[in-house]
Amino acid sequence: MENSKYSSEKRTNIHEICFGLNRETDEQSLIAFLKRFTNDALIDTLIPRLESQEINDLVDFLTGLMHAHITKEEYHRLFLK
């Protein structure tokens, strides 16, 4: 497992997520926010309620972010691992 300045052992309290103060806080908040989507109960509730176009848009958006900001090698090593 790779060391990351963003990883943490404990789950961030939802009240610690705050955007707009500074870049470091935004990054930490985004990580905590995205990690919330690993909750099976949330995913099991949310996914069936999404429209097909919303699913496609979300996949396109996330894929586009990866394409714009990570190399092909990083994609294979980090995302497809």
DSSP 7: -
* Cα 9 to Cα 60: distance, rounded to the nearest angstrom: 30
In tens digits, the chain (81 residues) has pLDDT values of 455 665 554 566 778 899 999 999 999 999 999 999 999 999 999 999 999 999 999 999 999 999 999 999 999 999 998
The pTM score is 0.77
Q: Are 13 and 44 in a shared domain? A: yes
Residue 20: left if φ>0, alpha if ψ -120 to 50, beta else—which one?
Answer: left
Q: Which of 34, 36, 39 is nearest to 65 (CA)?
A: 34
Task: For residue range 55-78, list pLDDT tens digits in order.
Answer: 999 999 999 999 999 999 999 999
State the pLDDT at residue 17: 94
Domain that holds residue 66: 51-81
Contact 6, 28 (CB under 8 A): yes
Q: How many domains, in total, are found in the chain?
A: 2
43 assigned to some structural domain? yes
31 assigned to some structural domain? yes
* Token pair belonging to 39: 């909750």
